[in-house]
Structure 1
Amino acid sequence: MGEPATAPPRRRALLPDTRPWHSSRDFRLLWWSGAVTMLGSFLTFVALPVQIKELTGSAFAVGAIGVVELVPLIVFGLYGGALADALDRRTLILWTEAALAVLAALLLLNTLLPDPMLWPLYVVAALSSALTGMQRPALNALLPRIVPHDQLTAAAALKGLCWQLGAIAGPALAGLLIAVAGLRPAYALDLLSFAISLVLVAKLRPSPPGEQAEKPSVRAIAQGARYAWSRPELLGTYVVDIAAMLFAFPLAVFPFLADDLGADWALGLMYAAIPAGSLLVNVTSGWTSRVHRHGRLVLYASAGWGLAIAGAGWAGNIWLVLGCLLLAGGADAVSGLFRTTIWNQTIPDDLRGRLAGIEMLSYAGGPQLGQVRVGGMAALTGLRPSVWLGGLACVTCAGALSAALPALMSYDDRTNEHAVRERARRGAEGAGSAP
């Protein structure tokens, strides 16, 4: 597959760069598969805690879902990364998707019982988290194989739309379905989404491992960790993400913040504002393909996220709070977009799965630690300081990291040795496959 040299016209700077759609059939299949399953998964994301609440009436029982999900996600994420480098990535995605469909069917069957049981809900939540951990590295590692090197930023933006559309539409649809028809339609639609996704994934071309692929093992995982440690700019992307989530992820106190503002009616809007801000960035992301200093944008966006969260903690008007959360979502999308681009453009293919597993540590651990931080700080310093002080801490951390990690601050995909090497390798592969 050759590397198209043309970039999107400047007059379309605010429109998404859709070149990956036109250049890669597999990217289109993967995008639609992700969009469908993301919508279905958010239906279950809402339905599962609602069902536990109905069965137990306990907030602690509902919160325990996060506990049973976190460890499997981290452990199997690391192992899934090693599997993604050792096995056919399409096959791994297909089998884990099929297993997730079986779990969705079990949730539906349990709901159809005269007296639904509680323990299967926790078992399914833990197994789903483990399978997601095994699958996500293969999904992330597949992208650089099916999209031309110069279109990876555009592909990351288009892929981000899957999550944002699901995060906005899924909970809204779930709330309506559960209120009108109960839990069963939500689980049934999730099962249907997996069935559709399986058909789409089955049409992907095989993606076998390289000839020198490492067998899945602790040694293979450690090799990936050593590679990450040897790359300061790569390590910086993980640290920036973890710091932003640790200091400035206040979702746990949103219900209390809504009460403090006298705006209980706006709680749903508060949860939707961050993904909505991310969505706005991705649907106006044509400019991102012309950015080359990706590390600088990651740090600036992290500081922007912290400032916006601090503003949400200071603001005394619900509409100002929603505006700040919208800005925070936009900054988070920019940071995530360019972190993903750095990963996809510079990590060698034979290590891509294991590094994707390591990336999951920031995805999974950062938000969970952030929830603990904001809840504990709210008890010690009060609700508002727990939000705005955390935002300012995020800004301070971004500034400190910009000084401590000059390799990230100066990263340029036109000159970075790892990006240049991967670009040359992809170009050689394209020339070799040409008739």
Structure 2
Amino acid sequence: MTETRAPARGRVLADLTPLRTSAHYRRLWFGNTVSWVGQGMTALAVSLQVYEITRSPFSVGLVGLFSLVPLVVFGLYGGAIADTVDRRRLGLASASGSAVLSAALAAAAFAGFHDVWFLYAIVALQSVCAALNSPARTSMIPRLLPAAQLRAANALNSMTTTFGTLVGPSLGGLLVGFGGFQTAYLIDALAFSAALYAMWRLPSMLPERTGAKRASVLDGLRFLATRPNLRMTFFSDFCAMILAHPRALFPVVAVLWYDGDARTTGLLAAAPAAGALLGGVLSGWQGRIRHHGQAILLAVACWGTAIAVFGLTRNLWLGLLFLAIAGYSDTVSMIFRNTMMQVAAPDEMRGRLQGVFIVVVAGGPRLGDFLAGSVADLTSPTVAITGGGLACVLAVGLLALRGRGFRRYDALDPTP
């Protein structure tokens, strides 16, 4: 492994050391960035095509369901597989599957085959490939970089995800408008070539294990149950994503609070993503933080506070500012949570922990959407959003009181 220098005291912008010191990580990061943009394009194009076929908002909503269920179900198993096989081969196979599925979408669109159930099936299979690919790819990174560079790598990875989320759908809408659905799908299929090339250049990535030939999902959950610090990373994220997740109410508050329309809803949805991207870009200062548990608790508390204040605002630009602050805080929490999982967990468990992470990241916000919508229906959007933010702050405060070891977690002496 390449040695890393201590972070500069005045650093503000993201630390690019992982990109400079590891060609393997650099290719993997670039390929993943391109792929995320392509997947964002396809996600929007599929939703637009389903609506064009059915003219039903409910049918469009089913796209999310067909994407979510396989991701949650196969996320845990994808992690277990990644802890058993060559992660490079698993990454290659799953990325190849995603590329073939995007090519199938393009071929069907070129042929004029428009069937909504075909689209649902492709979306579900793409989620299966993603559930297999993500644990394999993420668990490779600690093998490519020294532990001291993992926080910086996770900050760079957060920029990839957020950039794809912001740019991909916008670019997909433009491509569909100018060249039809087949153009967006075809470019997405070609975009996977960058990720495939990066995977192909990697060395073999067999997990560092000497025991049984098969990895059990239950063994991973048992391991997590006996590791309080790693367990706390998931509990803290649940506080934010379930109790204080106002996304489902954006269309409502855009009209009721700001007298807006669909464009206002788009701004509300984009503000947390913009803040999250800024959290990755301005992540250099995080290299000086040793107590990652404290950083996570404070970041989640900041998220809850920003959401609570957003619920009290009636000025659009002020509301967007607090949503951006929430997005920034979420990125800070995510960077330190990922780093703890990669550093404190043994290699033979990293895939399964990433599988649990997928389930939490995919399922938590959906539960949050349901809770926010239910509370708003029973009371009001203000109570749902502000009350949810305050509940998040209270819950993470209780976690802080109970998790003395989590507060004391030291990156220089990681204890799972």
Same fold (TM over 0.5): yes
Given candidates 241, 259, 278, the residue that maps to 1:262 is: 259
Aligned to 2:235: 239
1:332 counterpart (330, 333, 337) = 330
Aligned to 2:3: 3
Kindly provide the amino acid, as one letter, of the partner of residue 8 in structure 2: P
Mapped contact 1:3–1:149 kept (Cα < 8 A)? no
Q: Distance in 1 between matches of 2:189 and 2:129?
A: 15
- How far, CA to CA, are the matches of 1:35 and 1:187 in structure 2? 17
Listed as ranges, the matches of 1:257-296 within 5 Å are 257-260=253-256, 261-264=258-261, 265-296=263-294
User: Pick from 68, 71, 81: which aligns with 2:69?
Assistant: 71
Q: What stretches of structure 2 of length at least 5 have no aligned partner? A: none
8 Å contact from structure 2 (residues 409, 415) kept in 1: no
Offset of 1:98 from its aligned partner?
0.3
The one-letter amino acid paired with 1:157 is: A
1:391-406 matches, cutoff 5 A: 391-406=389-404
> What is the rounded CA distance, in whole Å, between the counterparts of 1:115 and 1:67 in structure 2?
23
Is 1:228 the counterpart of 2:224? The answer is yes
Per-residue CA distance 1:75-108 (angstroms, 9 max, x = gap) = 2111111111111111110010000011101111
Please say if residues 2 and 145 of structure 2, whose CA atoms lie closer than 8 Å, have aligned partners that are also in contact.
Answer: no
Q: Which deviations, in whole Å up to 9, do the C-alpha atoms of 1:209-241 show, x marking residues without a partner?
A: 335154345xx2111111111111111101111
Name the CA distance, whole Å, in 2 between partners of 1:376 and 1:216: 42
Q: Would you say the 8 A contact 2:83–2:350 is kept in 1?
A: yes
Residue 374 of structure 1 corresponds to which residue in structure 2? 372
1:267 CA drift (Å): 2.1
Deviation (angstroms), 1:410:
1.6
Q: Percent identity?
A: 39
Mark the runs of 5 or more structure 1 residues left unpaired by the alignment: 419-435
SS in 1 for 2:311: helix
Contact residue 93 and residue 139 of structure 1 kept, 8 A: yes
Query: Matched residue of 1:314: which SS?
Result: coil
Q: Give the direction of change, closer, same or farther, for the CA distance of 1:143–1:214 in structure 2 (3 Å limit).
A: farther
CA distance in 1, matches of 2:91, 2:44: 24
Contact kept? 1:79, 1:216, Cα under 8 Å: no
Match of 1:429 in 2: none
Deviation at 1:175, TM superposition (A): 2.2
Amino acid at match of 1:67: L
* Letter in structure 1 aligned against 2:126: S
Question: What do the CA deviations read for 1:125-148 (whole angstroms, capped 9, x no partner)?
Answer: 111111111111111111111011
Kept in 1, the 8 Å contact 2:24–2:198? The answer is no
For residues 160 and 101 of structure 1, the distance between their equivalents in structure 2, rounded to whole angstroms, comes to: 23
Q: 1:211 to 1:46 in 2, by over 3 A?
A: same
Runs of 4+ aligned structure 1 residues displaced above 3 Å come to 213-217, 415-418
Shift of 1:115: 4.6
TM-score with structure 1 length normalisation? 0.92
Give the Cα–Cα distance (whole angstroms) in 2 for the partners of residues 176 and 257 of structure 1. 27
**Partner Cα distance (2:68, 2:213) in 1:** 25
